[in-house]
């Protein structure tokens, strides 16, 4: 019998020889209440069966035992599952591990000869990398709290533990701040293509943070600077330089529409690289201190992301001065700064700064060197190779949504076929904090658009971040991945995920 289909591939899985466990309307569950609730919602949606809560010696036991997973790459977030004909036990090393065990259990449930069964199996599982993220761009198109919560549900089911929110860009500012009220009053109303804008109130943001925590995810807020700041100039014109039009922008506007940027006018096109904050004006740093001070207070997670990508309208030495100063400011707030890898051109950037690499699986000229700075400083990298796991790249066939600049279209195979420790030369697992799959939203307007672009490719990113490296596990092959993802179709449908039915996957 073939192994049950789990995604991301677990560290170890062995099929048992005995009969499967049969789930019925009389099945009982005991143990940690939060995990029992999470399991009940999966089983109810998938099988229409809600396990009965019991005090002890139930059929399904959900527990936390900190000694779990000591043999694997570390106990944090690890879990163990044992299933036989008589019982199911899921043991997490911590609450997160138990939550992940429950997600795996949901994937194991299958229909067999008219019954719902969980095959006899033994799983020991722990993540390869500590940080496994998804990013949602809520600036190019705004996505409301319910859509974000839905994305949290989806991502956490694949054992992602970080939601990076790209909160600001040229096209809009999406987070209300008491210290700088004009940002949402004057710079949040529109989006790309003249679509409606929007923003999160502080209560909305708190709600997202709490919901994410309930699914064992942290929120990483990004305020992108010194470029990508045209919207700041709508609210506080004294902080912004005039746009510097780059040659490539005319081509992008020819292809995708819109108008070149005009100071003080909302920008609705998608070309990048023209805006900059004023680098040699103290008012800029007062602004940055207000923004990150307030965000730090609203964000329980350890990271604040200050962007730093594509600042083509900022001189190189000004850019280095700016990111050095802003990284120190964020670090002084007690947070770990995160920046896109271009900020690694500044050798004096705060040593704790994490670099987010968005170059290709095989780095182009200069990209690897910039990424190397963060590792040389004793910090590490988040890997988001654009030609593999930029979820906004078009598929080879199917929806018309998406862009193509990163060697697109991007197939499911492209998303899967890369190895984190072989991207930046010389940077292996110790220099890698984790993996993150960004979803930029220039062409992505709705929750359904998000589902189509993210699924199934986000599953490939989840596997790169969680699973043992390719070559060390029989499961880490493209063929195994295709089969395992294909088996998830019914579960995803029960969760309301409108995935792209890619012809690369043998959907069951």
For residues 272 and 340, is the Cβ–Cβ distance under 8 A? no
Specify the residue for token string 């719902």: 116
309 binds ligand TNX (CB under 6 A): yes
d(CA 251, CA 445): 23
Out of 268, 310, 436, 463, the active site residue is 310
d(CA 100, CA 102): 5
Instruction: Between 38 and 464, name the residue whose CB sits nearer to ligand TNX.
Output: 464
* 310 part of the active site: yes
Instruction: Between 390 and 481, name the residue whose CB sits nearer to ligand TNX.
Output: 390
358 binds ligand TNX (CB under 6 A): yes
Q: How far is the CB of 128 from ligand TNX (least distance, A)?
A: 24
- Strand ranges inside 351-399, DSSP E: 354-357, 381-383
Q: What are the φ and ψ backbone dihedral angles of 96, each rounded to 5 degrees? A: -70, -45
DSSP 345: G
User: Which residues ranging from 252 to 281 are in contact with ligand TNX (CB under 6 A)?
Assistant: 272
Instruction: Between 396 and 486, name the residue whose CB sits nearer to ligand TNX.
Output: 396
Q: In the chain, what is the greatest distance between 2 CA atoms, to the nearest angstrom?
A: 72
Segment interacting with ligand TNX, rule: CB under 6 A, options 192-200, 242-250, 384-392, 460-468: 384-392
Segment interacting with ligand TNX, rule: CB under 6 A, options 65-73, 329-337, 386-394, 481-489: 386-394
| Angle of CA points 449, 452, 454, to nearest 5° | 105
453 binds ligand TNX (CB under 6 A): no
387 binds ligand TNX (CB under 6 A): no
Cα separations (Å) of 331 from 82, 185, 292, 335, 354?
Answer: 43, 29, 10, 5, 11
340 binds ligand TNX (CB under 6 A): yes
170 binds ligand TNX (CB under 6 A): no
357 forms beta bridges with 383
94, 124, 392, 463: residue in contact with ligand TNX (rule CB under 6 A): 392
Specify the residue for token string 């959900």: 62
d(CA 338, CA 354): 5
Q: Site for ligand TNX (CB under 6 A): how many residues?
A: 11
Instruction: Between 268 and 392, name the residue whose CB sits nearer to ligand TNX.
Output: 392
440 binds ligand TNX (CB under 6 A): yes
310, 387, 414, 463: residue in contact with ligand TNX (rule CB under 6 A): 310
Chain center to CA of 3: 28
Segment interacting with ligand TNX, rule: CB under 6 A, options 291-299, 385-393, 414-422, 472-480: 385-393
Q: How far is the CB of 227 from ligand TNX (least distance, A)?
A: 9
Closest CA to 372 of 349, 389, 390, 394: 349
Catalytic residues: 310
> Which residues sit at the interface with ligand TNX, rule CB under 6 A?
272, 309-310, 340, 358, 386, 390, 392, 403, 440, 442
């Amino acid at each position: 019998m073939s192994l049950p289909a789990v995604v991301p591939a677990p560290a170890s899985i062995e099929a048992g020889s005995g009969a499967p466990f049969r789930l019925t309307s009389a099945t009982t569950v005991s143990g940690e209440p939060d995990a029992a609730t999470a399991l009940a919602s999966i089983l109810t949606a998938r099988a229409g069966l809600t396990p009965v809560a019991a005090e002890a010696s139930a059929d399904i036991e959900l527990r936390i035992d900190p000694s779990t997973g000591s043999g694997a790459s570390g106990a944090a977030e690890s879990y163990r599952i044992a299933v036989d004909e008589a019982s199911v036990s899921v043991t997490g090393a911590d609450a997160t591990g138990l939550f992940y065990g429950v997600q795996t259990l949901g994937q194991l449930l299958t229909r067999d000869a008219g019954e719902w069964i969980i095959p006899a199996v033994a799983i020991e599982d722990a993540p390869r990398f500590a940080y496994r993220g998804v990013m949602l761009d809520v600036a190019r198109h705004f996505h409301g709290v319910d859509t974000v919560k839905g994305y949290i549900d989806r991502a956490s089911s694949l054992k992602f533990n970080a939601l990076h929110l790209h909160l600001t860009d040229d096209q809009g500012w999406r987070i209300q701040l008491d210290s700088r009220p004009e940002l949402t009053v004057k710079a949040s109303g529109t989006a790309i293509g003249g679509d409606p804008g929007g923003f999160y109130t502080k209560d909305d943001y708190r709600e997202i943070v709490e919901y994410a925590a309930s699914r064992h995810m942290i929120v990483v807020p990004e305020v992108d600077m010194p470029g990508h700041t045209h919207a700041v100039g709508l609210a506080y014109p004294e902080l912004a330089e005039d746009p510097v039009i780059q040659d490539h922008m005319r081509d992008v506007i020819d292809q995708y529409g819109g108008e070149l940027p005009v100071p003080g006018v909302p920008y609705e096109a998608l070309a990048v690289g023209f805006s900059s904050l004023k680098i040699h004006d103290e008012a800029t740093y007062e602004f940055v201190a207000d923004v990150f001070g307030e965000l730090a207070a609203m964000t329980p997670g350890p990271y604040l992301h200050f962007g730093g990508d594509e600042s083509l309208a900022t001189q190189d030495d000004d850019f280095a001065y700016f990111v050095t100063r802003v990284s120190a400011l964020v670090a002084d707030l007690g947070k770990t700064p995160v920046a896109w890898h271009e900020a690694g051109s500044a050798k004096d950037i705060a040593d704790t700064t994490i670099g987010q690499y968005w170059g290709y699986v095989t780095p182009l000229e200069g990209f690897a060197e910039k990424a190397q700075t963060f590792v040389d400083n004793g910090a590490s990298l988040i890997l988001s190779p654009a030609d593999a796991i930029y979820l906004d790249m078009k598929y080879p066939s199917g929806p018309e949504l998406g862009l193509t600049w990163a060697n697109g279209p991007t197939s499911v195979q492209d998303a899967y076929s890369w190895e984190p420790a072989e991207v930046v030369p010389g940077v292996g697992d110790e220099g890698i904090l984790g993996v993150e799959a960004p979803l930029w939203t220039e062409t992505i307007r709705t929750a359904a658009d998000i589902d189509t672009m993210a699924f199934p490719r986000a599953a490939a990113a989840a596997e790169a971040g969680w699973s043992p490296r390719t070559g060390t596990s029989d499961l880490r092959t493209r063929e195994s991945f295709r089969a395992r993802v294909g088996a998830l179709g019914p579960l995803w449908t029960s969760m309301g995920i409108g995935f792209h039915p890619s012809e690369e996957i043998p959907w069951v």
